[in-house]
Amino acid sequence: MAILMPYHKTNARADYLKPEEVLECEKFCIQDTYGMSITPELVEQDDGGRLIKKIVALEAILAAPGK
């Protein structure tokens, strides 16, 4: 079951989520972040959100004015 942004925002603020709701939210975040279908490989590479942080840091370095 794919979830939509309003559902994700509502659940992200919930005090308690069922385990399957947590997984659905994580899947949504990964798919939304990378714009790709969820695969076991993508979940592994995402490493709990660490990959996107590395990508953003690399983009910042590459976009920095030359010295």
25-60 residue pLDDT tens:
888 889 999 999 999 999 999 999 999 999 999 999
What is the number of structural domains in the chain? 1
pTM, rounded to two decimals: 0.66
The answer to whether 24 and 3 are in contact (CB under 8 A) is yes
- Residue 65's SS3 state is coil
Q: DSSP code of 14?
A: -
Q: Which domain holds residue 9?
A: 5-63
The answer to whether 17 and 39 are in contact (CB under 8 A) is no
Instruction: Using pLDDT thresholds of 50, 70 and 90, give the confidence band for residue 66.
Output: low
